[in-house]
Amino acid sequence: MTVTLTDAATGNALTNLSAGVTGRLTATVKDKNGSAVTGALVTFSTDSAFGTFNPASGTTLTDASGVATMLISGGATSGASSATVTAVWKESGADVSASGSVNYIVSAAGAVTLTITAPAFGVGASSLSAYGTTSVSVTVGGTTSPLNVSFTSSCATSGKAVLTASVTTINNVATASYRDNGCGNIDPITASVTTGVTATSPLTVTSPSAGSIQFVSATPSIISLKGTGSATLPEVSTVKFKILDTAGNPISKTVDFSLSTTLGAITLSNGAATASATSDAATGEVQIGVNSGTLPTPLRVLATINGTTIKTQSNQLTITTGLPDQAHTSLSYSTFNIDGWRFDGTTTILTMRLADHLSNPVPDGTVVNFVAEGGRVDASCTTKNNESECTATFTSQNLRPSDGRITVLAYAVGEESFTDLNSNGTADAGELIDANGVSTALPEAWIDYDESGAHGPTEPFFNFDGSTSAGTGTYSAANEDWNGTALVAGNKYNGILCTAGAPICSVRTAAHVYRNVVIVLSDSEALSTGDVFTNAPSSPLDLGGCTPGKPGTSTSFNLLLRDLHSNALPAGTTVHVSTFNGMLTQGANYVVPNTIDNYQTNPGSSAFSYPITIENDAPTTGTCVDPTPTGILSVTITSPRGVVTTYNLNVNN
């Protein structure tokens, strides 16, 4: 048997098991004939004070080459020792053994020292510039054998630096590479060997310079006036920014905040108009709260990196009442004149659009109510998705007013409008006008049955004061309502945006904002009584004689389109004109438009009078002989529901 000791890392012959060095014991077992012994049980032993085995049992088997190996590390005691190896196997049924040994020395490692040397880039040893690279060298004393040295640091662990994890000494020196990745601090670097001997030295890494500040978010972007907040419209917005260094990485810096305006005593989260906060080192984010004031206004938060000229501002925030005002309220619908007089279930979509005093969206959750003179309409809708609008469906059915016209009222809780002439954010005397100079004094909401724009004694109204009685139904200009209760004097402002105690202020802090629209339940059949062909020179229509060599004469007249109530036919009704004598040059096809016009009140509307032009079709060359001297002009009117009306007119030439 032969036994050798080598360095486990390099394979070089080894006699000194210094701290941090692992050796490999190799035993080669042969029989008396010099042949390798396979499967022999090999036992390694030594004084545990000087060396330890891996595995700790110290036993193994020889391989096909008769070789068995065992790792050994120096113990805690310095001095000379030996490792003994015994192999046992069977030959011809009898036990056979062999043994051998090898001497080694255990020496303690010298003190590990750590020094930082300047890299080739010229960075000084005492500090490293942001995102720079340097080298970290460890000198090991007490051994001449190669030694594995491990390196760690706080910034490397957190990802703020890149440090070589381990290096084997060459001539007792191990050199690792250190690259800054935004550490910006004093980074303790620790070197260690397997015996537990360590050394630590600080590396000063220069903090990165701030490169930019970015606005991230304002949540929510619309807040209510102080003292009027709710779950859907709070009084505080959280504004967030992000700080990046020159390499685009997050960085911790102090940020100074200020407000673009303090109108109405707007403050930051510290209760003042200015504040400071430090951004998070990991994310670069910093945030500040904005507390609303008592007046509506747009504003922005200004953010400056402390000690620099690097600054930015937030997107616009809005402080608002959260209430729609009358001037910014609009009610529209998809089809004005629906095919609904004789058919149930015809629909049109109503859309109420709202905005506040500053033309900003109202908050989600704002409710709009609907009532109608007849038919059926959804009771309410609610704004959502920050769209500041909502829709309801009107459906044709009974009750049908005798004139085929239904008024729909949409209303919501809001406030009166005013023009802030002195820019103080509140309504003052002389300001109850809109941008067009029209008075904004707002009566209580009513359903305008007769479309007059003024309340009549038989028209329902909605008492904002909350009285359960129907009221007198008599409008009082002095009180601006119909229930007769003298709650306010004339020309008072009903809304939040009023200075308490000012003569202009009503006791009401809100009012109904509303709009009326008219939906026409048009009949599907065109009215056939009376003169449907107007301005025609004769009946039958005479296109005149023929003059050889000249084009035929032309005649123009109008087709009168209306239903039994003199309302326009349903929108989308098609009109097709054809003739079997003469030639049409105008008016072959027509589609009835969206309209609420009535022929009795607006006979000149294009919805009713449809022009047609026809000319003599006799030949203009040779003899003036017309093979079709008589014929019929036919008009076919088809409603969206498929009801057909036909008009005919005799034509001679």
Residue pLDDT, tens place only, 586-614: 888 999 999 999 998 888 888 888 888 88
For residues 390 and 473, membership in a common domain is answered with: yes
Identify whether 6 is part of a domain: yes
Q: Is residue 261 part of a domain?
A: yes
Q: Which of 53, 79, 106 is the last residue of a domain?
A: 106
Type of residue numbered 89: W
**Segment among 10-14, 199-203, 346-350, 473-477 with least mean pLDDT:** 473-477
Regarding whether 236 and 346 lie in a shared domain, the answer is no
**HEC readout, 514-563:** EEEEEEEECCCCCCCCCCCEECCCCCCEECCCCCCCCCCCEEEEEEECCC
9 lies in the same domain as 93: yes
Average pLDDT (536-543) is 74
Asked whether residue 311 falls in the same domain as residue 340, the answer is: no
Q: From 568, 572, 537, select the one nearest 653 (Cα to Cα).
A: 537
* Three-state SS at 477: coil
- With respect to residue 365, please indicate whether it lies within any of the assigned structural domains: yes
Residue 459 sits in the same domain as residue 566 = no
Q: Are residues 474 and 561 in the same domain?
A: no
The model's confidence at residue 197, banded by pLDDT at 50, 70 and 90, is confident
Please tell me whether residues 6 and 84 are part of one structural domain.
Answer: yes
**What pLDDT does 123 receive?**
36
Q: Are residues 341 and 269 in the same domain?
A: no
Split at pLDDT 50, 70, 90, the class of 547 is: low
Same domain flag for 348 and 358: yes
232: left (phi over 0), alpha (psi -120 to 50) or beta: alpha
Q: Which of 421, 514, 440, 438 is nearest to 480 (CA)?
A: 440
- pLDDT above 50 (res 441): yes
Starting at the edge strand found earlier in the chain, the sheet holding 79-91 runs: 59-61, 41-46, 79-91, 94-106
Does 54 fall in a domain? yes
Residues 223 and 161 in one domain: no
- Which has the minimum average pLDDT: 133-147, 543-557, 575-589? 543-557
Q: For the chain, how many structural domains are there in total?
A: 5
Which of 286, 264, 283, 284 shows the shortest CA–CA distance to 273? Answer: 264
Q: Which of 144, 172, 205 is the last residue of a domain?
A: 205
528 inside domain: no
Which pLDDT score, from 0 to 100, does residue 467 have?
45
Would the pLDDT of 470 be above 80?
no
Q: How confident is the model at residue 460 (pLDDT cuts 50, 70, 90)?
A: confident
- The CATH number of residue 601's host domain is 2.60.40
Find the mean pLDDT for residues 106-124: 48
CB-based contacts of 350: which residues, under 8 Å, 6+ apart? 331, 332, 333, 370, 377, 391, 392, 393, 394, 408, 410, 517
Asked if residue 625 has pLDDT above 80, the reply is: no
Q: CA-CA distance, 541 to 632, in Å (whole number)?
A: 9
Task: Verify that 232 and 357 share a domain, yes or no.
Answer: no
Whole-angstrom distance, CA of residue 343 vs CA of residue 569: 13
Using the structure block, give the residue that is written with the tokens 């000379």: 80
SS3 label, residue 42: strand
Confidence label for 119 from pLDDT (cuts 50, 70 and 90): very low
The rounded distance, in Å, linking the Cα atoms of 396 and 343 is: 7
What confidence score (pLDDT) does residue 471 get? 41
Structure-block tokens of residue 494: 């009903």
Contact indicator for 23, 46 with CB cutoff of 8 Å: no
- Classify residue 526: in a domain, yes or no: no
> What's the average model confidence in pLDDT over 58-64?
93
Spatial distance between the Cα atoms of 141 and 151, rounded to a whole number of angstroms: 17
CB contact set of 346 (below 8 Å; sequence gap of 6+): 338, 339, 340, 395, 396, 641
Inform me whether the pLDDT recorded for 496 exceeds 90.
no
Pairing of strands 541-542, 644-652: parallel
Q: What pLDDT is stored for residue 605 in this prediction? A: 85
- % of residues, the chain, pLDDT over 70: 88
Task: List, as one string, the DSSP characters of 187-237.
Answer: EEEEEE-TTS-EEEEEEEEPPPPEEEEEEEEEESSEEEPTT---SSS-SEE
> Are 136 and 128 a contacting pair, CB within 8 Å?
no
Tens-digit pLDDT profile for residues 399-432: 999 999 999 999 999 999 999 888 888 888 889 8
- pLDDT number for residue 81: 86
Distance, in Å, from the CA atom of 450 to the CA atom of 448, rounded to the nearest integer, reads 6
Domain enclosing residue 31, as ranges: 2-106
Is 618 contained in some domain? yes
Sorting pLDDT into bands at 50, 70 and 90, what band is 376? very high
Which CATH number characterizes residue 353's domain?
A: 2.60.40.10
Q: Is the pLDDT score of 370 beyond 80?
A: yes
74-105 residue pLDDT tens:
887 777 789 999 999 898 888 999 999 999 87
Q: Where are the alpha helices (DSSP H) in 10-99?
A: none
C-beta of residue 346 within 8 angstroms of C-beta of residue 395: yes
Backbone angles phi, psi at 363, to 5 degrees: -70, 155
Residue 527 lies in a domain: no
Q: Residue 607: its pLDDT value, please?
A: 85
For residue 472, what pLDDT is reported?
46
The rounded distance, in Å, linking the Cα atoms of 13 and 451 is: 112
Q: How far apart are CA 500 and CA 487, in angstroms?
A: 16
pLDDT at residue 187 is higher than 60: yes
Among 501, 521, 541, the domain-final residue is: 521
pTM: 0.64
More confident residue, 19 or 356: 356
Query: Are residues 275 and 394 both part of a single domain?
Result: no
Residue with tokens 């790792």: 71
The mean per-residue pLDDT over the stretch 3-30 comes to 84
Tokens coding 639: 């409603």
Residue type, 236: V
Q: State the chain's maximal CA–CA distance in angstroms.
A: 145
pLDDT one-digit tens code per residue, 206-230: 888 898 999 999 999 989 888 888 8
Tell me what the pLDDT averaged over the chain comes to.
85
- The torsion angle over the Cα atoms of residues 427, 429, 432 and 438, rounded to 10 degrees, is -150
What percentage of the chain reaches a pLDDT higher than 90? Answer: 45
What CA–CA distance (Å, rounded) separates 70 from 59?
Answer: 8
Residue scoring higher pLDDT (225 or 470): 225
